[in-house]
Amino acid sequence: MNNPFVLLVNGSPNAQGCTHTALAEMARTLNAEGIDTQILHIGNKDIRGCIACGRCAELGHCIFDDPVNQAAPLLQTADGLVVGSPVYYASANGTLTNFLDRLFFSTPFPKRFKVGAAICSARRGGTTATFDQLNKYFTISEMPVASGRYWNMVHGNTPDQVLQDTEGLQNMRILARNMAFLIRAIRAERSRNGLPTEEETVYTNFIR
């Protein structure tokens, strides 16, 4: 069986900034746990939001050919997904949310039991709201969410300052090890007994 693989998405416009510093700490720890990783930087790309055209249901991919479609094969093969964002007005970077909206909606393959984790970076505040926002992509997709010892955040205005956030970096390492454990456990259980029975989706509309 091939090595487990985790895709880490950097939603910051700054390729080597604070968010990258946290993601890189996770990647190093995942690698030490035998997990292959790739950090994908999308925060400086021109990524538009979903226009609800529905063409992805026909095409099997988004009608807009941009980093969303380029990332889709990586997510399909991944055992886990880490999403990292800087904090803007107590929320995630708009480019990143455009990317995630379209990536999760337009891809036809299941995400269930891929392990998800969100991390956020701020100078000072707004991290918990951003953290909650990003986790919703996982919890609507049957993706187990990896957790750390504290909310997954780092603080600092520069990468050097983030490196001084020893508690934040420690939590990135703990999060990565917990994620690696979950990935290995899910792989082992899948090989023995398969995944839980999947029910067909039922839609209930409250306006009649």
For residue 112, which amino acid is it?
A: R
Residue 1 has pLDDT above 90, yes or no: no
What pLDDT is recorded for position 206?
A: 84
Residue 161 has pLDDT above 80, yes or no: yes
What pLDDT is recorded for position 62?
A: 97
Domain 5-193 class, CATH top level: alpha beta
DSSP SS3 for 119: strand
- Could you give the CA distance from residue 135 to residue 153 in angstroms, rounded to a whole number? 13
Question: What are the residue boundaries of the structural domains of the chain, listed by start?
Answer: 5-193
pLDDT tens, residue by residue, 78-116? 999 999 999 999 999 999 999 999 999 999 999 999 999
For residue 115, which amino acid is it?
A: V
Can you read off the two tokens belonging to residue 134? 């990003």
Q: What's the rounded mean pLDDT across residues 43-48?
A: 97
